[in-house]
Amino acid sequence: MTTDALPLRTLRLIIEYDGTDFAGWQRQTGQRTVQQCLEDAFAAMTGGPVGVRGAGRTDAGVHADGQVASVEVASRIPALGFVRGLNSNLPRDIAVLDVTDMPAGFNARWAARGKIYRYLIWNHPIRSPRHARDSWHVFAPLDVHAMRAAASLLCGEHDFRAFRAADCERRTTVRVLRRFDVRRDGGLITCEVEGTAFLKNMVRILVGTLVAVGHGKMTEATICELLAQGDRTRAGMTAPACGLTLAKVIY
């Protein structure tokens, strides 16, 4: 007697996680990662190894509200069944918000047309327990108007080689930023940037540079020089990972 083979399906996942206690997205030997937890949860449901591909490899300590991943599974479990089953097998700092069947060949990384990142700064002399895990505590007052003006200069197509990690391996450093918003609500400053793609640590270095502008250590002219000259040593520090969240992946 024979049985029909299980159908091979491509699923798209939307995932939220608190990255504080993870060594990043990508599976690493001996480390707790988001990819590893998701693959283990799938294995518990399907009984076999499954590879989960993320739209972006967030670093250690970085969070996500809308990370997207794709996976191929041989299963008849309905999409809602995967949502419920995965969440019952995942730790409390990860949740799968949605599972959708996609056409064969869909790849969360290569199909993406852009990403939105959000960075939070707690700008107050007193620390905030509420924002301790998702923001950078900057004690000294920041000039948000100056930061906003500097951020506007970074929009458009530029060579961002001054705003990447030393070990960034991307062949081209030209990227397009569609918008870069800076706003304050009390002690909380939100920097939100949308772009086609980003270099390693690019958002964190951009924010570190804007904070230097907010402290009066850099000017709008400095931003223009950094874009023209590409000297990483003149840009700002790499802002702490805890303040960064992958807010949305655009398709």
Average pLDDT of the residues of the chain: 96
Phi and psi at residue 13, to the nearest 5°: -110, 140
Domains of the chain: 8-102 (3.30.70.580), 114-250 (3.30.70.660)
pTM of the model: 0.94
Q: What is the pLDDT of residue 240?
A: 98
Residues known to be catalytic: 59
What is the dihedral sign for C-alpha 143, 148, 153, 158? Answer: positive
Of 60-69, 88-97, 160-169, 176-185, the range with the lowest mean pLDDT is 160-169
Q: Please answer whether residues 66 and 247 qualify as being in contact, where contact means their C-beta atoms are separated by less than 8 angstroms.
A: yes
Question: Predicted confidence band at 3 (pLDDT cuts at 50, 70, 90)?
Answer: very low
Amino acid identity, position 177: L
% of the chain beyond a pLDDT of 90 = 94
pLDDT digits (tens, 9 = 90+) for 136-164: 999 999 999 999 999 999 999 999 999 99
DSSP 133-181: TTSEEE-S---HHHHHHHHHHT-EEEE-GGGS-TT---S--EEEEEEEE
Q: What is the pLDDT of residue 2?
A: 43
